[in-house]
Amino acid sequence: MSGWVRVCSTAELLPGESRVAWDGDTPILVVNLDGDVHALEDKCSHEDYELSAGAIDGDQVECTLHGARFDLRSGEALCAPAYAPVRKFPVKVEDGAVWTRDDR
Ligand code: FES
Residue 104 belongs to some domain of the structure = no
Please choose, from the candidates 90, 80, 83, 84, the residue with its C-alpha nearest in 3D space to the C-alpha of residue 30: 90
Q: How many domains, the chain? A: 1
pLDDT digits (tens, 9 = 90+) for 43-57: 999 999 999 999 999
Q: pLDDT at residue 61 above 50? A: yes
Beta-carbon contacts of 12 under 8 Å, excluding residues fewer than 6 positions away, are: 19
What percent of the chain shows pLDDT beyond 90?
98
How many other C-beta atoms are found inside a 10 Å radius of the C-beta of residue 102? 20
Averaged pLDDT score across all residues of the chain: 96
- Domain span at 79: 5-96
CA of 10 to the centre of ligand 1 (A): 30
Per-residue pLDDT, 1: 47
Residue 44 belongs to some domain of the structure = yes
Per-residue pLDDT, 66: 98
Q: pLDDT at residue 2 above 80? A: no
The residue nearest atom 4 of ligand 1, judged by CA position, is 66
The residue nearest atom 3 of ligand 1, judged by CA position, is 66
Q: Which domain CATH number covers 31?
A: 2.102.10.10
* Ligand 1 contact, 77 CB (< 6 A): no
